[in-house]
């Protein structure tokens, strides 16, 4: 087992990783930018190393500074968290080349699943359902040919893309020209490759993802699904498990198909397979080869500490349990609390003058915030995650309503009022929402 883990991240996930290490008797090294010198995980870690100025590009994305910190402190593993370098295959390779364990999949797995076209090919060969799609598109003529073969509407995506950037939808041949040209231009500007391809566009899907854990000895389990359809601008806002849209048969079926596929692919560590779900059918969208923000709702219903399992797998341990040992109890919902204006979503960093987190049975708050802490303006605006669980979805909703009322964050605006409004909407209470629901709700509300 590792003796010392370097946490190559910041904010609530850095504290989350520190906690798992602490409970496993593993020493922690916190690397931080100048702006994060006063962060809670920096105070709690066994050692702290300032790796650069506030800008992420000069600190949390600075590969050599992070690896140097690991070498200087004698860390035998690095946990990348999510975002930043967590899916950077070159970084994972550099870490391993320096004799340090990377807590995540092998870099070649990251590369394979990080490219949308190869990920779809691997997924299909491993038995996962995918949307009808095209190979790499080289010309408008070829795009029109494939669109007519697939059937409109179609969506053109960048193979190196992610998070919705560079995607263009076309409903007929006329729209293909602009969609193809814009998608390639945006891909060239935003990603490592301007290669684009096409898929059948699903107009009203849900976003359902499956969590897996796989060790290096061929043991693979799935930890159920998370419904992440409540989102705006490809930023998740509320996530829940189980999905109100799935019945037991669908849940069992997709879980088994995913478990078999991950075994065939030979993937190791924690991973999440994202699907679009429409008219009772799943379509593989992409795979995330990292820990996800919303992992705590899966922990709430399975009782499994996913960060602990990632560390154990990376250290060469076996899972030590099979799918039959995994139980799913109750319901869990996560609200992402952002330091933003709840109507305009404009980020509003600042000083927290009063902080009181809700508590009680089935209430978890993951955050580094404390009274007197100032939110730096350089990073993502998420400052806390409220995870609530209960025996049933209704019990969970009642508890979530109560927890949001208790939450006190003074000194700046947050999205707490938005969550209070969303969870009282009929479509949310009935669980009848898809990926477009929140944006439509906000349009209606804000005009």
Q: Are 319 and 313 in contact (CB under 8 A)?
A: yes
Considering the complex, what minimum distance in angstroms separates the CB of residue 294 from ligand MV4?
13
Rule CB under 6 A: which of 88-147 touch ligand MV4? 131
Using the minimum distance from each CB to ligand MV4, give the nearer residue, 172 or 323.
172
Using the minimum distance from each CB to ligand MV4, give the nearer residue, 211 or 389.
211
Q: 22 catalytic, yes or no?
A: no
Task: Tally the residues of the chain.
Answer: 447
Considering the complex, what minimum distance in angstroms separates the CB of residue 232 from ligand MV4?
9
| Choice from 137, 155, 230, 238 touching ligand MV4 (CB under 6 A) | 155
Using the minimum distance from each CB to ligand MV4, give the nearer residue, 186 or 286.
286
| By the rule CB under 6 A, 323 interacts with ligand MV4 | no
Closest CA to 196 of 169, 165, 161: 161
Query: How would DSSP label each residue in 271-309?
Result: EEEEEEEETTEEEEEEEE-S--TTHHHHHHHH---HHHH
| Choice from 10, 184, 207, 226 touching ligand MV4 (CB under 6 A) | 207
Cis peptide bond upstream of 113, omega within 30:
no
| Choice from 36, 115, 186, 199 touching ligand MV4 (CB under 6 A) | 199
Tally of CA atoms within 13 A in the half-sphere of 337 that contains its CB: 28
**Quick one: which segment of 10-18, 40-48, 196-204, 300-308 binds ligand MV4 (CB under 6 A)?**
196-204
Question: Could you report how far apart the first and last alpha carbons of the chain are, in Å?
Answer: 56
Closest CA to 379 of 81, 18, 65, 33: 33
Considering the complex, what minimum distance in angstroms separates the CB of residue 116 from ligand MV4?
9
Tell me how far the alpha carbon of residue 336 is from its chain's centroid. 12
Query: How would DSSP label each residue in 365-400?
Result: EEE---TT-EE-TTS-SEEEEEEEEESSHHHHHHHH
Considering the complex, what minimum distance in angstroms separates the CB of residue 98 from ligand MV4?
33
| By the rule CB under 6 A, 231 interacts with ligand MV4 | yes
Site string for ligand MV4, 162-181 (x = CB under 6 A): -xx-----------------
Taken in order 259, 26, 73, 56, is the CA torsion positive or negative? Answer: positive
Q: Are 183 and 158 in contact (CB under 8 A)?
A: yes
Q: Is 318 left (phi over 0), alpha (psi -120 to 50) or beta?
A: beta
Site string for ligand MV4, 375-404 (x = CB under 6 A): ------------------------------
Considering the complex, what minimum distance in angstroms separates the CB of residue 290 from ligand MV4?
14
| By the rule CB under 6 A, 285 interacts with ligand MV4 | yes
Using the minimum distance from each CB to ligand MV4, give the nearer residue, 131 or 268.
131
Considering the complex, what minimum distance in angstroms separates the CB of residue 19 from ligand MV4?
29
Considering the complex, what minimum distance in angstroms separates the CB of residue 286 from ligand MV4?
6
- State the Cα–Cα distance between residues 274 and 226, nearest whole angstrom: 9
Using the minimum distance from each CB to ligand MV4, give the nearer residue, 163 or 359.
163
Considering the complex, what minimum distance in angstroms separates the CB of residue 312 from ligand MV4?
29
- State the Cα–Cα distance between residues 149 and 44, nearest whole angstrom: 58
Using the minimum distance from each CB to ligand MV4, give the nearer residue, 36 or 239.
239
Rule CB under 6 A: which of 265-284 touch ligand MV4? 276
Q: Are 334 and 385 in contact (CB under 8 A)?
A: yes
Residues near ligand MV4 (CB under 6 A), total = 16
Question: Among 16, 226, 251, 290, which one carries the catalytic annotation?
Answer: 290
Using the minimum distance from each CB to ligand MV4, give the nearer residue, 102 or 433.
433
**Quick one: which segment of 198-206, 289-297, 334-342, 393-401 binds ligand MV4 (CB under 6 A)?**
198-206
Closest CA to 129 of 210, 27, 26: 210
Burial classification of residue 198, based on how many CB atoms lie within 10 Å of its CB (0-12 exposed, 13-18 middle, 19 or more buried): buried
Using the minimum distance from each CB to ligand MV4, give the nearer residue, 135 or 164.
164
| Choice from 136, 172, 192, 234 touching ligand MV4 (CB under 6 A) | 234
Q: Are 86 and 79 in contact (CB under 8 A)?
A: no
Q: What angle do CA 253, 257, 263 make, to 5 degrees?
A: 145
- List the catalytic residues: 290
Sites of contact with ligand MV4 (CB under 6 A): 131, 155, 163-164, 199-202, 205, 207, 231, 234, 276, 285-286, 435
């Amino acid at each position: 087992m590792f003796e010392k883990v370097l946490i190559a991240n910041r904010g609530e996930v850095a504290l989350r990783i520190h906690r798992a290490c602490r409970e496993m008797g593993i020493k922690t090294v916190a690397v931080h930018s100048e702006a994060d010198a006063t962060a809670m995980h920096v105070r709690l870690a066994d050692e702290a190393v300032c790796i650069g100025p506030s800008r992420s590009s000069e600190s949390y994305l600075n590969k050599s500074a992070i690896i140097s910190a690991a070498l200087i402190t004698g860390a035998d593993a690095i946990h990348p968290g999510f975002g930043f370098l967590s899916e950077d295959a070159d970084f994972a390779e550099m870490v391993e080349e320096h004799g340090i364990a990377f807590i995540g999949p092998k870099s070649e797995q990251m590369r394979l699943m990080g490219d949308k076209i190869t990920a779809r090919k691997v997924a299909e060969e491993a038995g996962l359902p995918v949307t009808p799609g095209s190979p790499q598109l080289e010309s408008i003529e070829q795009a029109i040919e494939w669109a007519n073969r697939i059937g409109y509407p179609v969506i053109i995506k960048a193979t190196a893309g992610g998070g919705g950037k560079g995607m263009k939808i076309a409903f007929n041949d006329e729209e293909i020209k602009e969609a193809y040209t814009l998608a390639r231009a945006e891909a060239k500007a935003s990603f490592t490759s301007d290669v684009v391809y096409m898929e059948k566009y699903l107009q009203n899907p849900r976003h359902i993802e499956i969590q897996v854990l796989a060790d290096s000895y061929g043991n693979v389990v799935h930890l159920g699904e998370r419904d992440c359809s409540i989102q705006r601008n490809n930023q998740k806002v509320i996530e829940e498990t189980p999905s109100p849209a799935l019945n037991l048969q669908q849940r069992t079926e997709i879980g088994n198909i995913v478990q078999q596929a991950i075994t065939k692919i030979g993937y190791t560590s924690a991973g999440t397979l994202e699907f679009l779900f429409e008219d009772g059918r799943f379509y593989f969208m992409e795979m995330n080869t990292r820990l996800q923000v919303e992992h705590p709702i899966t922990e709430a219903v399975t009782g499994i500490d996913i960060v602990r399992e990632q560390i154990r797998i990376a250290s060469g341990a076996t899972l030590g349990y099979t799918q039959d040992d995994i139980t799913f109890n109750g319901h869990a919902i996560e609200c992402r609390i952002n330091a933003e204006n709840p109507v305009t979503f404009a980020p509003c960093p600042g000083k927290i003058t009063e902080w009181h987190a809700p508590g009680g049975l089935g209430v978890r708050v993951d955050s580094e915030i404390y009274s007197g802490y100032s939110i730096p303006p350089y990073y993502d605006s998420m400052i806390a995650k409220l995870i609530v669980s209960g025996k049933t979805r209704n019990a969970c909703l009642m508890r979530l309503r109560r927890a949001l009322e208790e939450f006190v964050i003074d000194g700046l605006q947050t999205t707490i009022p938005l969550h209070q409004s969303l969870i009282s909407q009929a479509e949310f209470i009935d669980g009848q929402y898809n990926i477009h629901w929140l944006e439509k709700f906000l349009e209606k509300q804000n005009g």
